[in-house]
Structure 1
Amino acid sequence: MTDSGLLPPDNVETVFRRLSEAMPGRSERAKGPKGQPDAFRSCISCMLSAQSLDSNTAKASRALFALAQTPTGMLALSDAEIIDAIRPAGLYNNKARAIRRFCRQLLDEHDGVVPDTRKGLLAMHGIGRKCADIVLSFTFGHDAIAVDTHVGRVCRRIGLARGPTEAKIAEVLDERAPGWAKEEGHFWLIQLGKRICKSRRPQCGRCPVGDLCQYHAGEGASDG
């Protein structure tokens, strides 16, 4: 381990090399967030996905985009129309307000065009680090490892990156991951989390990086 309690750089490189061989990367079916075809709808869908099941997010997205597909069209809707459409995603009052503020900011500051940089996306109302990285990777094709629940858990257990929030983990991971791994690293890590490094019953004996993993070695890595 390093002084920070994380894997040393050489081991980080080895982890990603092994995962690149053992886990599937970006597939042809991988689309923008929640399958949306453009950056605007990708951002809105990401906002709707907070604390929502994928199936409920999909229902809310379909209903909302049946009414409007641009920031101008969205702002022309009444609060009641937006809330009724996105109700399946939960937290609909807060999300409706966030959507309105996002659309207004997009028009006022960017002529309705979604920024294609992390800094630009993070400056938008309602867009956090995970959403920004997902939009960058899936919609704009930039190299970014988005950190969700699965990726965060894997990073903490292995010792790739840690932090009090997924956003902090993403920040640390971006600094430590080799450049060549950032294009598909999200896919390798999320598949490891879903298939092997599960939350309740991790299958350490099947893990391609088990001999490097701090959780498996019992070195006190945070479980989560």
Structure 2
Amino acid sequence: MKQIVRIEILNRFEKKNPYPITELNFCSPFELLISTLLSTQSTDVIVNKATKKLYNKANDPRKFLDLGLNGIKNYIKPIGLYNIKALNIIKICHILLNKYKGKIPNNRIELEKLPGIGHKTASIILNTIFDQPEIAVDTHVFRVCNRTGFAPGKYVQHVSNKLSKVVPIIFKKHCHMWMVLHGRYICKARNPKCNECNIKDLCRYYAIKN
């Protein structure tokens, strides 16, 4: 895809939704960290339903440790991989309290040292909490980039590397959420809503299909 086309796509996303926000519910950096960890192989809707009750009971590392491993599990059972996620949460809370005074570190190296926190989650935290121009690549972003031809790649890291190079800095803050929302509601994995798509005339998939 030519760069002029990518910029047009991003301009249209911006015009449609200038200030996109995550659909995960959170009231603090710690809550976003936990919710993002929980959202792996799950949906925002399921995570929000579980954390609504969880955060009313505990909303910082100390309170999570007071709740305990089994207590956390009881709240997040509807979420995929809840056993390992609960264990990682306990480990994270210990590290945050012992090493960072309960605060969330603001750099990728330290974030990715936390149990269960990978490149995608770290990017979301850095972007949303610390206002850094990071682009997280989840299943929606991966699909949109490949299907449209915006930044195709066989693996997530390939797509991530391409996005870091081809997305102008002025768009990097919101690029992740634009593509997430586009993939979630328009460019779905099954039965994409091409007739409702505002970039279909720029999309490789639509051109091939028609």
Question: What's the counterpart of residue 26 of structure 1?
Answer: 19
Structure 1 residue 167, shift from structure 2 partner: 4.9
In the alignment, the residues of structure 2 paired with residue 212 and residue 76 of structure 1 have an alpha-carbon distance, to the nearest angstrom, of 52
Number of aligned positions between the proteins: 209
Question: What's the counterpart of residue 102 of structure 2?
Answer: 112
Q: Which amino acid aligns with 2:58?
A: A
Task: Say whether residues 1:70 and 2:60 are aligned partners.
Answer: yes
1:16 to 10, 17, 22: 10
Structure 1 residue 60, shift from structure 2 partner: 2.3
Task: Say whether residues 1:45 and 2:26 are aligned partners.
Answer: no
User: Residues 146, 25 of structure 1: CA spacing in aligned structure 2 closer, same or farther, 3 A cutoff?
Assistant: farther
- TM-score after normalising by structure 2: 0.83
In the alignment, the residues of structure 2 paired with residue 82 and residue 17 of structure 1 have an alpha-carbon distance, to the nearest angstrom, of 42
Question: What's the counterpart of residue 4 of structure 1?
Answer: none
RMSD over aligned Cα atoms? 2.6
> Superposition pairs for residues 98-109 of structure 1, below 5 Å?
98-109=88-99
Q: Which amino acid aligns with 2:206?
A: H
Question: What's the counterpart of residue 94 of structure 1?
Answer: 84
Q: Which runs of 5+ in 2 are unaligned?
A: none
User: Residues 196, 58 of structure 1: CA spacing in aligned structure 2 closer, same or farther, 3 A cutoff?
Assistant: closer
Question: What's the counterpart of residue 222 of structure 1?
Answer: none
Q: Which amino acid aligns with 2:132?
A: H
User: Residues 61, 165 of structure 1: CA spacing in aligned structure 2 closer, same or farther, 3 A cutoff?
Assistant: farther
Q: Which amino acid aligns with 1:24?
A: N
In the alignment, the residues of structure 1 paired with residue 6 and residue 38 of structure 2 have an alpha-carbon distance, to the nearest angstrom, of 33
User: Residues 55, 192 of structure 1: CA spacing in aligned structure 2 closer, same or farther, 3 A cutoff?
Assistant: closer
2:199 to 202, 209, 214: 209
In the alignment, the residues of structure 1 paired with residue 63 and residue 185 of structure 2 have an alpha-carbon distance, to the nearest angstrom, of 41
Moved >4 Å (runs of 4+): none
Contact 2:68–2:90, Cα closer than 8 Å, also in 1: no
> Superposition pairs for residues 165-176 of structure 1, below 5 Å?
165-176=155-166
Structure 1 residue 103, shift from structure 2 partner: 1.5
Match of 2:176, SS state, is helix
Q: Which runs of 5+ in 1 are unaligned?
A: 1-6, 220-224
Question: What's the counterpart of residue 133 of structure 2?
Answer: 143
Q: Deviations over 1:138-188 (max 9, x none)?
A: 333333333333222111112222334445423321222111111222333
Query: Which has a greater percent of helix?
Result: 2
